[in-house]
Amino acid sequence: MFNELPLVIFTIIAQMSVGSFVVLGLIHLFGARAGREVIDKVSDPALYAIGPVLVLGLLASMTHLGTPIRAVNALRHVDSSWLSREILFGLLFAAIGGAFAFSQWFKWLTPRLRQALAGLAALVGLALIWSMTMVYLLPTVPAWDSWATPVRFFATTFLLGSLAVGAALVVTADVRRRRAAVADDASEAVIMSSLRGIAIGAIAMLGVEFVVVPLYLGKLATDGSPATAASSTALSNTYGGYAVVQLVLVFLGVTLLGVFLSRLAKRFSTARLLAIAPVAAFVLVIAGEIIGRMLFYASYARVGL
């Protein structure tokens, strides 16, 4: 359960980073009406947080290695190994995304060019998630070699990405509100509409997980081969308790978001209370996703010996 913690941290962080980046991009796209300056002001802090977190994730992945000092060797087999490709896209995403962040910070290039850079980074980020998925589609590991793997990885990407952005937005706004003497209605409006979209998107992603996971577990349980039986036992019996905890956390997160959404529908009464919801939802759901990822690794069982 705990022996692949570095990979749990890396994959969760990488997926959350790409998801956050994409969601921020969507906010820029759909929030164009509010004006570039407002959008930038609202979303840049979240953007700048992605980089360090991603670096942390990459460093975490290195602690999985037996000889991390040669980690760069992992780029040497791009023509055959999805792991090589994953590392390549990971580094490219960090580089291009970083280039975008720096250019955003220092206002280099033109807004259009910066936008193109961001778009490229987003595409590379999605390629990273796809590579990550393919790493686990090993014909010798039936528990992982399933359509459920890419579905769940991408669901995690957008789920954590959107909730992380949501939490970042409200925290940023909260901090600013306390510092500033003047209310910033334009920002607040962007944030509110973003949060609405985020909540709906997150609930949708959770819905996908709620449908996919039982289907996947059912198939695993009935397949009959020794490897799938071992994986099934790990998930249902040995670590069944953790699976329940994961479900509870995710369910609580959904509930919170639902409540939040309904409150948003009426004009918000207490700003404070509302700020807690996206943050709490993020914490609950990422805890659940971490457990889910640990269960993913715990379900490892190989065909043959």
Partner 1 sequence: MTPQSVPSPAIDSTGVTRRRFVQWTAIAGAGAGLVSLTGCGQTGTPDALAEPAAVGTEAKVVWSSCNVNCGSRCPLRLNVVGGVITRVDPDNTGDDSLGTQQIRACVRGRSIRQRIYNPDRLKKPMKRVGKRGEGKWAEISWDEAFTTIAGTLTRLIKDHGNESIYINYGTGVLGATVATSWPPASSAVARMMNCVGGSLMQYNDYSAANIEAAVDFHYGGWQGSNSNDDTVNSKLVLMFGNNPHETRMSGGGETFVTQTAKKLSGHKVIVFDPRYTDTAMNLADEWVPLRPGTDAALVAGFAHVMITEKLLDQAFLDKYCSGFDEAHMPAGMPANLSYESYVLGRGADGTVKSPAWASRVTGVPADDIRRLAREIAQSKPCSITQGWGPQRHSNGENQSRAPMLLAAMTGNIGISGGGTGERESYAALSMASFPVLDNPVRPVLPFFRWTEAILRGKGMDYQDGIRDALDTNSNANIKAGVTLGSNIKFIWLYGSNALVNQHGDINKTIEILSDETKCEMIVCIDNQMTVSARYSDILLPDVTTAEQVDLAAQQSAGNLGYSIFTDKAIEPLYECMPVYEQMAGIAEKLGVKEKFTEGRTQEDWVRWIVEESRKTIPDLPPFEEFRKMGVFKKKLDSVIGMKTFRDDPVANALKTPSGKIEIFSSNLHTISQTWKMEKGNTVTALPEYVQSREMPGDPLQAKYPLQCIGHHYKARTHSTYGNVVWLKEAHPQMVWINELDAAARGIKPGDNVKVFNDRGALILPAHVTLRIAPGVASVPQGAWYAPEKAGGVDLGGSMNTLTSQFPTAYSKANGQHSNLVEIVKA
Partner 2 sequence: MSKANVTKYKQLGFYLDQGGCTGCKACQIACKDKNDLPVGISWRRVAEYSGGGWSKDESLGTFKPNVFTYYTSVACNHCEDPICVRVCPTQAMRKGEDGIVAVDASICIGCRYCEWACPYGAPQFSAEKGVMTKCNFCRDFLAEGREPACVAACPSRVLDFGEIDELRKKHGDTADIEPLPDPAITKPNLVITPHKDAQRSGHGRGTLANPKEV
Binding footprint of partner 1 on the chain (CB under 8 A): 2-6, 9, 37, 40-41, 44-45, 48-49, 52-53, 55-56, 59-60, 62-64, 105, 172, 175-176, 178-181
The answer to whether the beta carbons of residues 246 and 296 sit under 8 Å apart is no
Query: Which of the residues 65 through 94 are near partner 2 (CB under 8 A)?
Result: 65-68, 70-71, 73-77, 80-84, 87
Give the one entry of partner 2, partner 1, none that residue 193 binds, where binding means its C-beta sits below a cut-off of 5 to 8 angstroms depending on kind: none
Least distance in Å: CB of 64 to partner 1? 5
For position 1 contacting partner 2 by CB under 8 A, the verdict is: no
For position 300 contacting partner 2 by CB under 8 A, the verdict is: yes
Closer Cβ to partner 2, 181 or 305, answer by number: 305
Give the one entry of partner 1, partner 2, none that residue 304 binds, where binding means its C-beta sits below a cut-off of 5 to 8 angstroms depending on kind: partner 2
Q: Of 53, 90, 52, whose CA–CA distance to 74 is shortest?
A: 90
Least distance in Å: CB of 243 to partner 1? 21
Contacts of 299 (CB under 8 A, 6+ apart): 143, 144, 220, 231, 234, 235
Closer Cβ to partner 2, 37 or 79, answer by number: 79
Count residues contacting partner 2 (CB under 8 A)? 30
Least distance in Å: CB of 6 to partner 2? 11
CB contact burial 92-118 (16+ within 10 A = b; e otherwise): bbbebbebbbebbeeeeeeeeebbebb
d(CA 260, CA 203): 12
For position 140 contacting partner 2 by CB under 8 A, the verdict is: yes
Contacts of 126-129 with C-beta under 8 Å, sequence gap 24+, read 126/18, 126/22, 127/89, 127/93, 128/14, 128/18, 128/86, 128/89, 128/90, 128/92, 128/93, 129/14, 129/15, 129/18, 129/153, 129/154, 129/157
Give the one entry of partner 2, partner 1, none that residue 210 binds, where binding means its C-beta sits below a cut-off of 5 to 8 angstroms depending on kind: none
d(CA 59, CA 162): 23
d(CA 169, CA 189): 12
Give the one entry of partner 1, partner 2, none that residue 263 binds, where binding means its C-beta sits below a cut-off of 5 to 8 angstroms depending on kind: none
Least distance in Å: CB of 288 to partner 2? 25
Give the one entry of partner 1, partner 2, none that residue 71 binds, where binding means its C-beta sits below a cut-off of 5 to 8 angstroms depending on kind: partner 2
Q: Of 152, 115, 158, whose CA–CA distance to 137 is shortest?
A: 152
Contacts with partner 2, residue ranges (CB under 8 A):
64-68, 70-71, 73-77, 80-84, 87, 135, 138-141, 225-226, 300, 302-305
